A and B are shown apart, each in its own frame.
Chain A
Amino acid sequence: MISIRNLSKKFGTKEVLHQIQLDYEQGKVYGIVGENGAGKTTFFRCIAGLEDYEGEISSDLTPLKNHLGLLLTEPFFFPKITGKEYLQLLCQARDVQISNMEDKNIFDLPLNQYAATYSTGMKKKLALTAILLQGNEYFILDEPFNGVDIQSNILITEIIHQLKALNKTVIISSHIFSTLSDTCDEIHVMSQGNLIKSVQKPDFATLETEIKQMTLGKKLDKLGLA
């Protein structure tokens, strides 16, 4: 379980997260939706301990960061490091020994090629493979479906289901609502650094309609396409 109490974050005088209170339970998958700049990534970075913050974040397993697999929106790769070496680096960082790396290559990535030459989707799949191999208990997946092909999308959805079955805690952000409704038990809506709503699975369809209405409004009418 991860407990978040009164989490606030400021960049200079601008408050980007405001008094967030949340509990993430074991064996559940949580989604976060919000417009670009709503504060999702900053929220994830605070949980991971990559940002200083006000408030309190606690977890059953401590320190949280040592049990957390963090998939960033745009994972950074060193030039001239192969996919296999990247996996080795991330596993060694947690002292995890992987003997049969090739067998774990579920996305069929060219592991002996430099990771910097991979496509956006391949980079995402490599970074995801690494945090799965680390054997984490908590997962934060910031837009895991972005740039990924349809086959891998299916595979990632199944991986998330399996992580849930293994009693892990998973937090996902995505701009594709169907990916969240397929995987999540609960979705939180974030707007301008505030958590404005928590929605349970039975109400996902209503939430989708609300988001559509909120987003579209009368914007299309302005274009005068008709």
Chain B
Amino acid sequence: MSNRHLKDAGIHPLLGYVGLTALFLGLSVYLFQSTDFAPYIYLLLALSMIGNLSEKRRTEFLRICFGDSSMKKIRICENVMASLPFLAFLLYQQLFAYMALLLALVILLALSQFKTAMAWTLWTPFSKRPFEFTIGFRNTFYLFILAYGLAVVAVFLDNFNMGIFALLIVFITSLFYHSKAENEYYVWAFHLKPKAFLLRKIKTAILFSTLLALPIALLLSFFFYPNIGIILLFIGLSWAFLISMIVSKYSEYPNEIYLTPSIFLALCLWFPPFLLIFIPYFFKKSEHRLSRLLK
């Protein structure tokens, strides 16, 4: 399935896997350099990703096809295989106890099943202006609890870097709310011209992500007041990347994978001033791309 996605995007699967491995390693190294709590966050991230394989309908499909006993074996194999990259990195870090814990938890997870469509409705502060943050918040609310908790710990330990990491968790999570192209009906339905449509999306994203980051930003500003410039710099950069993500998505719309802007975005991560060229260029490209649906 992933091979097909990569081929559809015009990427050779081998190249795609090398890129994904590099990204995984880069983020893992960054996480372990940033905080002492990295092993816990790492375990949580691994479990939340692997947990998607325990979706109820998927498990039921496997049970119907292979029977109960074989289904359990398949599910355990799947989860162990999916956890291999995380296990390998923990091995590299020589965190053997965490390796054993992750292995035990993924096996336990293989024997459980979850309903992804919840019967109850989770409250969200973004209900009045759907849809990106409304859905995103419901999918990732636990990451905000984690980020807020981490910010409090950062204050107690007097660790400014950890506080900034907590702030980045909020903004990076918000970035992913704009990673997937929506059904064209939800673009077509707007009575706006492409420029106004993009500006509305950007305004909402900045407002809501800032609202989510505000508790951490205020906490850090109060307890690490001399570093307020750095806090503002990180917020500004996060806004710029948020805008970049939005214009990247619509520059290739309705394609789901946007290779060219992703490469440029990676360049901007390496050298953020590139954003000054990137944002206007891809904004124009998005305007052009959306003009088919928004007249």
Is the CB of A63 closer than 8 A to any CB of chain B?
yes
CB of B221 within 8 A of chain A? no
Q: Is B188 an interface residue (CB 8 A)?
A: yes
Q: Which residues of A contact B135 (CB under 8 A)?
A: 78-81
Query: Chain A nearest CB: distance from B242 CB in Å?
Result: 20
Q: Which parts of A84-111 form the interface with B (CB within 8 Å)?
A: 84-86, 88-90, 92-95
Contact A92 B117 (CB under 8 A): no
Asked whether A88 and B128 contact (CB < 8 A) given A65-B295, A114-B118, A117-B119, the answer is yes
Given contacts A78-B131, A80-B135, A80-B138, contact A50 B117 (CB under 8 A): no
Q: Please provide the chain B residues from 174 to 233 with a CB less than 8 Å away from any CB of chain A in the complex.
A: 182-186, 188-191
Q: Is the CB of B117 within 8 A of A79?
A: yes
| A31-63 CB contacts (< 8 Å) to partner B | 48-50, 52, 63
What is the interface residue range for chain B against chain A? 20 to 34
User: Complex: how many Å from CA A89 to CA B182?
Assistant: 13
Contact of B292 among A52, A63, A79, A94 (CB under 8 A): A52
- Check A50–B184 contact: CB distance below 8 A: yes
Which residues does chain B contribute within 8 Å of A85, judged by CB atoms? 127, 130-131, 134
Considering residues A49, A65, A82, A93, which has the most beta carbons from chain B within 10 angstroms of its beta carbon? Answer: A93
A151 at the interface (CB under 8 A from B): no
Contact with A along B99-126 (1 / 0, CB 8 A): 0000000000000000011110110000
- Taking a contact as CB atoms under 8 Å apart, the answer to whether A89 and B186 are in contact is yes
B240 adjacent to chain A (CB < 8 Å): no
For the complex, give the distance between the alpha carbons of A79 and B127 in Å: 14
Tell yes or no: A112 within 8 A of B by CB: yes
A72 at the interface (CB under 8 A from B): yes
Shortest distance in angstroms between A2's beta carbon and chain B's nearest beta carbon?
15
How far apart sit A70 and B117, CA to CA, in the bound complex (Å)?
27
Q: Which of A66, A89, A94 contacts B131 (CB 8 A)?
A: A89
Interface size range of chain A in the complex: 20 to 34
* Chain B minimum-CB-distance residue to A48: B188
Is the CB of A162 closer than 8 A to any CB of chain B?
no
For chain B, what secondary structure do more than half of its interface residues adopt (helix, strand, loop), or is it mixed? loop
Contacting residues of chain A (61-79) with chain B, CB-CB under 8 angstroms? 63, 65-66, 70, 72, 75-76, 78-79
Query: Within 8 Å CB of A84, what residues of B?
Result: 127
Bound: A95/B197 CA distance, A: 12
With the chains together, A81 CA to B133 CA distance in Å?
10
Docked Cα-Cα span, A75 to B189, in Å, equals 13
Closest CB in chain B relative to A106 CB, distance in Å: 21
Q: Which of A49, A70, A76 contacts B295 (CB 8 A)?
A: A49
Most B CB contacts (10 A, CB to CB) among A63, A65, A75 go to: A65
Q: Which of B254-288 contact A (CB under 8 A)?
A: none
- Report the Cα distance A218→B117, complex, angstroms: 47
Chain B positions within 8 Å of A75 at CB level: 185
- Is residue A116 contacting chain B, with contact meaning CB distance below 8 A? yes
A63 with B295, Cβ < 8 A, contacts A80-B139, A114-B118 known: yes
Binding site for A on B (CB under 8 A): 116-119, 121-122, 127-131, 134-135, 138-139, 182-186, 188-191, 292-293, 295
Interchain residue pairs with CB less than 8 A apart (20): A48-B188, A49-B188, A50-B293, A65-B295, A66-B191, A70-B188, A72-B185, A78-B131, A78-B182, A80-B122, A81-B131, A81-B134, A85-B130, A88-B129, A89-B186, A93-B189, A94-B189, A94-B191, A113-B121, A114-B117
Extra pairs beyond A79-B116, A79-B135, A85-B130 (17, CB < 8 Å): A50-B185, A65-B188, A66-B191, A70-B188, A75-B185, A78-B135, A79-B117, A80-B118, A80-B138, A81-B130, A85-B131, A86-B130, A93-B191, A112-B121, A114-B121, A116-B117, A117-B117
